[in-house]
Amino acid sequence: MSGTTVGQWARRGYIRASQSAGDPHVYSLEDVLEAVAVGALLRGGARHVDIRRALERLRDRGDWPLSEVSLGLTQDGGRPRIVLREAGGIYALGDRGWQLMGAPPPVRELPLRVRRVSASDPAPTGARTRRPRRSPRARG
């Protein structure tokens, strides 16, 4: 996607320049991931109004909601709808918010989901830790 497109999305509120909103805009990696999510939704057939609605409904999910949740698009022959996959099922975005789908149609998952961790979070089970490198002088 072009810088012009990213700038338009920032002006319209789809993404933000979290590092600097002044000129020039400075985007973080998380801002870029949100732009990738917006691009994937648009390429999949989602409407701008639906993306805006999803952002509004996901506001409580963090600063970068599109890349922090599991989103997808329905693929049932009609207009694609944005869906949210959670432990309780698949929810379709409608005029009144997220609605649980009783028999969801096939869903194409967005190829992006980021789990942010802080330095204080424990390492995942089975994670390998790196051994500190020895300096060249310490080798014998």
pTM of the model: 0.73
Are 12 and 42 in contact by the 8 Å Cβ rule? The answer is no
> pLDDT tens digits, residue range 37-53?
999 999 999 999 999 99
Confidence band of 5 (pLDDT split at 50, 70, 90): confident
Helix/strand/coil for 42: helix
Are 38 and 30 in contact by the 8 Å Cβ rule? The answer is no
- Arithmetic mean of pLDDT, 113-119: 55
Q: Which pLDDT score, from 0 to 100, does residue 27 have?
A: 81
Of 49, 59, 58, which Cα lies nearest the Cα of 98? 58
> φ and ψ at 106, to 5 degrees?
-55, 140
Distance in angstroms (rounded) separating the CA atoms of residues 68 and 55: 12
Element (H, E) at 52: helix 48-57
Tokens of 56: 């509004």
Distance in angstroms (rounded) separating the CA atoms of residues 121 and 132: 20
> pLDDT tens digits, residue range 70-105?
999 998 778 899 999 998 899 999 888 999 999 999
Confidence band of 119 (pLDDT split at 50, 70, 90): low
